[in-house]
Amino acid sequence: MKTIKFKGLRLDGKGWVYGDFINSLEYGAMIMLTAHCGGNSFDEAPSDYQDSVQVIPESVGQFTGLQDKNGVDIYEGDNIRVCDNKNGLLTVVFVNEYVGGWVLIHESTKNKLSLGARKSNTIEVIGNINEK
């Protein structure tokens, strides 16, 4: 089964949180903490969002289903170094061209490389576009 999860930077400045994404009309972008996710349905989310954390909406990134050479989960917005490529920094982006998919976009040339076609032992997460 495909794992669908998200990460986002907390509004209170206390780092990243991981879990299910919720876009609440009352509270805005939130992540329901992984440890408290009871299922795959919004109907199972606590009505008072007690197990959820408000996040910066622009920082929310979806899990790609892949890990880097160190076993680190790769998320949308992550900065990647390709070990067999000295062309600089690449960023993970979902592109909805044709059938859609995760790609790596080169920081200066804007060239696109398929993330799925890369061997996981040749890529490394080195940060995220939302980190200063």
Does residue 122 share a domain with residue 70? Answer: yes
Examine residue 1 and state whether it is found in any structural domain, yes or no.
Answer: no
Pair 78, 25 in one domain = no
| pLDDT-derived band at 52, boundaries 50, 70, 90 | confident
Asked if residue 123 and residue 69 are part of one domain, the reply reads yes
Arithmetic mean of pLDDT, 104-108: 85
What would the pLDDT profile of 67-93 be if each residue is shown by its tens digit?
A: 999 999 999 999 998 876 666 789 999
* Residue 90 sits in the same domain as residue 106: yes
Domain tally, the chain: 2
Q: Are residues 68 and 114 in the same domain?
A: yes
The counts of H helices and E strands in the chain are: 0, 11
What pLDDT does 34 receive? Answer: 62
Of residues 96 and 55, more confidence is placed in 55
| Cα–Cα distance, 68 to 78 (Å, whole number) | 11
3-class DSSP state of 66: strand
Asked if 78 and 119 sit in the same domain, the reply is yes
pTM: 0.81
Range of the domain at 69: 61-128
Tokens of 105: 């976009």
72 lies in the same domain as 91 = yes
Inter-residue contact 48 to 27 (CB < 8 Å) = no
